[in-house]
């Protein structure tokens, strides 16, 4: 019998500080990809999410990452009597572009706003040098694979920076591979085998399948299908995808995507709380 998906945020038994932030964002109910992903991610399962860009995946992986962060803090507090995290960073989020770095940073900051002491989320592409010291000072790190790989190659970033990593997310991994598959391969060399892996992709290409097989262990695979598409998920193959041997799968979940209007509201509420209007510069300004 298939496991029932949670219908509300409260059903997921999230920390009250995360629930309060979700309430501020006016995310009334979780989207289909969030309902399916978050419970498995909270259990520590490796995850493979296949859905279109803009289906609510950011919330699906950021929320359980924050929960994992809070659990780690409580554990260290009980063991060492400290309320700040020493085992940093807990999470690494890799995205394909600078714009997505900024969007992911904003979403993570909005969802962690009630966590005290303040959680440090660092967009490595925003400013300054990228090195071990900077990474070890953050609780969650957001960056492009290309930027991180460049510093790994130079020796500025080593395995030591990620020795305490609990969760690694590769978002839009098919796009990252299209830009530079070599960057992902290099980043993989510094990641601990024990870290939970979450891969998000719109298409299942040969490159994505290869990365899944190397990074994920007994993953839960979640596929989000279009609401108006009645074709069985097993018979669908996105353009450009290939037939391949799947890695061992613990379970497979296929969902109908009915989230377009709800997702639009989620994005609007997030943007309205994080972005303040800026004055347009005069045309004479240089």
Q: What is the pLDDT of residues 117-155, one digit of tens each?
A: 899 999 999 989 999 999 999 999 999 999 999 999 999
Distance CA 192, CA 166 (A): 9
Identify which of 235, 231, 188 has the alpha carbon closest to the alpha carbon of residue 207.
188
pLDDT number for residue 257: 53
With CA atoms as reference, report the closest residue to 56 among 164, 171, 137.
171
Give 258's contacts (C-beta < 8 A, 6+ positions apart). Answer: 32, 227
Name the burial class of residue 119, with classes exposed (0-12), middle (13-18) and buried (19+) by CB atoms within 10 angstroms of its CB: buried
pLDDT score at 209:
84
Q: Which domains does the chain have, with CATH numbers?
A: 32-228+246-271 (3.40.50.300)
Residues 6+ apart with CB under 8 A from 100: 171, 172
DSSP string computed for 86-123: -S---EEEEESSHHHHHHHHHHHHHHTTT-TTTP-EEE
What is residue 225's predicted lDDT score, i.e. its pLDDT? 76
H-run or E-run covering 231: none
Q: What is the pLDDT of residue 268?
A: 54
The pLDDT of residue 234? 39
Q: Residue 254: in which H helix or E strand, if any?
A: strand 251-257
Pick out the chain residues at pLDDT < 50: 1, 228-250, 276-286
Report how far residue 57's alpha carbon sits from residue 49's, in angstroms, rounded to the nearest whole number: 8
Alpha carbons within 13 angstroms on the beta-carbon side of residue 80 total: 11
């Amino acid at each position: 019998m298939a496991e029932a998906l949670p219908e509300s945020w409260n059903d997921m038994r999230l920390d009250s500080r995360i629930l309060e932030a979700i309430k501020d964002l006016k995310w009334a109910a979780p989207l289909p990809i969030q309902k399916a992903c978050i419970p498995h991610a909270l259990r520590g399962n490796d995850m493979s999410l296949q859905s279109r860009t803009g289906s609510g995946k950011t919330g699906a992986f950021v929320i359980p990452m924050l929960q994992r962060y809070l659990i780690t803090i409580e554990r260290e507090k009980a063991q060492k009597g400290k309320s700040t995290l020493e085992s940093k960073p807990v999470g690494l989020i890799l995205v394909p572009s600078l714009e997505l770095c900024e969007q992911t940073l904003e979403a993570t900051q909005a969802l962690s706003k009630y966590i005290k002491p303040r959680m440090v989320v660092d967009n490595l592409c925003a400013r300054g040098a990228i090195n071990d010291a900077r990474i070890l000072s953050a609780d969650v790190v957001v960056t492009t694979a290309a930027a991180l790989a460049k510093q790994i190659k130079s020796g500025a970033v080593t395995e030591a920076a990620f020795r305490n990593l609990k969760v690694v997310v590769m978002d839009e991994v098919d796009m990252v591979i299209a830009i530079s598959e070599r960057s992902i391969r290099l980043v993989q060399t510094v990641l601990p085998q024990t870290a939970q892996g979450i891969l998000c992709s719109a298409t299942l290409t040969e490159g994505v399948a290869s990365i899944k097989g190397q990074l994920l262990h007994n993953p839960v695979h979640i596929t989000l299908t279009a609401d108006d598409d009645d074709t069985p998920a097993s018979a669908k193959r996105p353009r450009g995808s290939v037939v391949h041997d799947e890695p061992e799968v613990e379970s497979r979940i296929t969902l109908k995507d009915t989230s377009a209007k709800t997702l639009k509201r989620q994005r609007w509420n997030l943007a309205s709380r994080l972005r303040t209007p800026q004055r347009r510069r005069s045309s004479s300004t240089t």
